A and B are shown apart, each in its own frame.
Chain A
Amino acid sequence: MEWTTTIDAPGKVCLMQGNEAIVRGAVEAGINFAASYPGSPSSQVLDMLGRIANERGFYAQWAANEVCAMEACIGTSLAHARSLCIVKQNGLLICADALHCGAQHGVIGGVVVVTSDDPSAHSSTNEFDSRFMVESADLPMLEPTNTQEAKDLVPYAFELSEKLRQIVVIRLTTRVCHGRGNVVLGKLPEKPNPLRQVNEWDRLVCVSYRHTPMLKTLENFREEFEHCPYNHYEGPEHPEKLVVAGGTGCLYAKEALQRLGLEEKIGLLRLATVWPMPEALLLNYLKEAGSVLVVEEVDPFLEKGLQALAGKHRLQIRFAGRGDGGLPRIGELDPDVVMDAVRKLAEIPAPAGAAADRPEPLLERELNFCAGCPHRATFYLLKRALKRCSKEPGVVIGDIGCYIMSSQEAGHYIYQACNCMGSGINLAEGLGQLSNFGMRQPVVTMCGDSTFFHSALPGLLNASYYHSNMLMMVLDNSATAMTGFQPHPGTGLTAMGEQVEPMSIRAICESMGCRVTEADPFDVEGTQKILEELLPQPGLKVLIMRQPCATLMSKKQRKKRRVWIDQDKCVGNGCGCDRFCSRVWGCPGNSWDYEKNKAVIDPVSCVGCGVCAKLCPAGAIKVEDGED
């Protein structure tokens, strides 16, 4: 639906995804520059910006990581550029330093940071609330409650950023990013925002004496936010009971009030200005209120702020929300938990439900590596090699990417630890130093190609310089696969569709003094041998596992090799292999025919990689055109 982001039709109503609305807002704001690192729930924003950048005359980049993206945006601000930085769940944590220092020196051209949190961690490792991070940096923050506001807040944020010379943050959550709604389009500028010469006395310098002006700027934002057109109040003039809501929870609260017929009795304050809070506006509604329900995603951020405000003004208010037990402390909001909380606020008893007859919970679908995924072979071979060549059990440290599934059945529960993105090399480096103090276990870590460029490089340098005893595996599948195949410096492609010289992972590792070996996880015997040679060796070893992502390949190749079971050779349960292909190997392409009691290949799932044929002890799996 990309036409919606560039069509010049003010007033037209389009159905847009939240991420798409952010793109439209950026185009309406006439941005000059955009940078991001891919990740849930906001990957689509820069994907789309990259595709329309040439047409709209701006620059868009998939940066190596969030720090590169944010600092580049701050840099362009010197030339009066309007720049948009988009960060994924946890992304703001990675650029914390740039954010805090940036707040201290402010900006010249507008800089807007879109941060996207993932409540319930639908596709993340943890729940994180970026609002506390923004508060600690003394930066202003906005949050849309629907798709229309997701678009509208972008140009608004740019105007404020330039007016008050400060970075403005927009917080999204998964429901806004992935949800869709009606959006009334605004005007498109004829040209992007004009750039200006950087003058000798233009300064963006982080120094301590900027602390007071920074706090003054925050006060200016507070005053601005008292009149923000995106804060709305609905309900009685002096409410005794009040709901204050930020983000998607607003609409759940609104619907609950409608359904209970309480719109005339209970006030609803929709707060787009998350930080700093518009205190006068809030006090106007809080002063008569005896009970307040605060509806927000993840942590009790607004709730704590409102409690502090009420305390400062000695208001006797009973607060309910995320921190006070009125809403669940963790997990994403939904209409039902908000309905329960609104009922409690209104002192309406919960309806008598037929809760007695609870059915047995249904089977959950586990995540699995895709059919033909090279990671499946890598983890199988690593597990086997560790068993074969070391008396002591191996210690395996994971990292962030598709291969995180190796902590589950899909990867034979292989690793002991996984911290944040790019941490694997450092956790392993520390353990690897203990070999001089009695630890005899082989230490292994891994990261994908995109994570390698994102944040493994300083760790690798460190491990090499300090001679840690460990094996670093770079799982190079030629893609940022988890998030939708965005280009990274190893791919030779850019967000704007340009072809450039790819960076060599091998050359980078060698320049850091690492011994590098390469292997193909689909070459079962060869890779097994390499692993068994490398694991017992002292010092830092780098092993690059090369095989493109199966999903990426199936998008590129039309024809796949046929794989089938030789019915004469598969001896079923009598084999002694414990149904190796379907039970142990666990590829979605390998299934079991319960009628014949023999293995079967699912022709829809199978991508024809042929690895299972190399592993079948009976040699019963056949591959078209294969010597296997």
Chain B
Amino acid sequence: MGRLNFDPLNIVICGIGGQGNVLASELVSSTMNDLGYKVAVGETYGAAQRGGSVMSHVRVSEKFEMGVLIPRGEAHFIIGFEPLETLRQARQYAGPQTRIIYDPRPVYPQGVLQGRQVYPDLKAMEEEIASLAGDAVQVPAAAIAMECGDSRAANIALLGAFSTLSGAPLNSEELLDVLRQRFSGAVLEMNERVFIRGISAMRGSSLSEV
């Protein structure tokens, strides 16, 4: 107990189908459950596998019984796997107390690839995301994961970055322990590398305690 700067603590994890955000939310939330906290998690993944948006709300409290969705403007952290999805959720859930970490690499919707739709300007999105939150830092999570050998490990890079934030309910050592419990062999080795690269990506940022 005593890990929460806010009660309830609200975390939004967002991206598109197949990026591993459900696993990220599951790792954080089940660890908080095991530490004795009340936890409520809402997952929105309609037809995620077919390119749709995916979002998890993770809520942690010492004393309150919570619904599975975070009220508007009440997120303390937003972990974004993609800039458009980060902005979509920041518009709804960010406020002055919110710290955002997100991967700036765009994943284009089908309509953009087909030339029917236009993907928003990246610079404008970066500015809007920064203006909506207290802090916002870009973490090249997919690039880190690909360099370490598996594009699907972007979630682990973002968790590494998240673990360095002041106010995060779990620190880097604790989250590494969770990975060691969940994975083994070559997968664990790769995830550890990705996680540590995620931590390093935060060095020098205003949000980080590293």
- A591 with B113: CB separation less than 8 A: yes
- A255 with B71: CB separation less than 8 A: yes
- B52 with A181: CB separation less than 8 A: no
User: Which bucket holds chain A's interface residue count?
Assistant: 35 or more
A243-281 vs B, CB cutoff 8 Å, 1 = contact: the mask equals 000001001101100110000000000000000000000
Which residues of B sit under 8 angstroms from A335, Cβ to Cβ?
A: 67, 69-72
A100 to B47, CA, bound (A): 32
Least distance between B92 CB and chain A CB atoms (Å) = 9
Which residues of B sit under 8 angstroms from A579, Cβ to Cβ?
A: 115
Which residues of A sit under 8 angstroms from B34, Cβ to Cβ?
A: 15
B13-38 vs A, CB cutoff 8 Å, 1 = contact: the mask equals 00010000000001001100110101
| Nearest-CB residue, chain B, relative to A15 | B33
- 46-103 of chain B: CB within 8 A of chain A: 46-47, 49-53, 64-72, 84, 87-88, 91
Query: Interface segment, A304-312, A364-372, A450-458?
Result: A364-372
A174-187 vs B, CB cutoff 8 Å, 1 = contact: the mask equals 01001111100000
B47 is contacted by which of A1, A367, A590, A591 (Cβ under 8 Å)? A367
Query: Interface segment, B116-124, B164-172, B191-199, B202-210?
Result: B116-124
Interface membership of B45, Cβ < 8 A: yes
Interface membership of A237, Cβ < 8 A: no
Which secondary structure dominates chain A's binding surface?
A: mixed
Which residues of A sit under 8 angstroms from B53, Cβ to Cβ?
A: 365
- B109 with A366: CB separation less than 8 A: yes
A41 to B63, CA, bound (A): 29
Q: A13-B33, A255-B64, A583-B114 are in contact. Are A359 and B51 (CB under 8 A)?
A: no
Which residues of B sit under 8 angstroms from A588, Cβ to Cβ?
A: 51, 110, 113
Interface membership of A336, Cβ < 8 A: yes
The A-B contact count (CB < 8 A) is 135
Least distance between B187 CB and chain A CB atoms (Å) = 15
- A181 with B39: CB separation less than 8 A: yes
| Nearest-CB residue, chain A, relative to B72 | A336
- 360-403 of chain A: CB within 8 A of chain B: 362-370, 402
| Nearest-CB residue, chain A, relative to B48 | A123
- A365 with B120: CB separation less than 8 A: no
Interface membership of A122, Cβ < 8 A: yes
A369 to B47, CA, bound (A): 11
A591 to B112, CA, bound (A): 10
- A586 with B110: CB separation less than 8 A: yes
Which residues of A sit under 8 angstroms from B115, Cβ to Cβ?
A: 579, 582-583, 592
- B119 with A363: CB separation less than 8 A: yes
Interface membership of B44, Cβ < 8 A: yes
A366 is contacted by which of B41, B44, B88, B111 (Cβ under 8 Å)? B111
Which residues of A sit under 8 angstroms from B40, Cβ to Cβ?
A: 146, 179-181, 251
Q: A181-B39, A255-B71 are in contact. Are A367 and B50 (CB under 8 A)?
A: yes
B39 is contacted by which of A175, A178, A182, A591 (Cβ under 8 Å)? A182
Q: A362-B91, A405-B50 are in contact. Are A179 and B72 (CB under 8 A)?
A: no
B113 is contacted by which of A15, A359, A592 (Cβ under 8 Å)? A592
Which residues of B sit under 8 angstroms from A336, Cβ to Cβ?
A: 71-72
Give B residues with C-beta under 8 Å from A: 16, 26, 29-30, 33-34, 36, 38-47, 49-53, 64-72, 84, 87-88, 91, 108-120, 128, 151
| 20 extra interface residue pairs, beta carbon distance < 8 Å, beyond A15-B33, A182-B39, A366-B51 | A122-B47, A123-B47, A178-B42, A178-B45, A179-B41, A180-B26, A180-B39, A180-B41, A251-B66, A254-B65, A334-B69, A335-B71, A362-B88, A363-B84, A363-B109, A363-B118, A582-B114, A584-B114, A586-B110, A591-B108
Q: Name 9 A/B residue pairs within 8 A (Cβ), A-sorted.
A: A146-B65, A178-B43, A248-B67, A255-B64, A334-B69, A335-B72, A365-B109, A367-B50, A409-B114
Give A residues with C-beta under 8 Å from B: 1, 13-15, 122-123, 146, 175, 178-182, 248, 251-252, 254-255, 258-259, 334-336, 339, 359, 362-370, 402, 405, 409-410, 482, 551, 579, 582-584, 586, 588, 590-592, 604
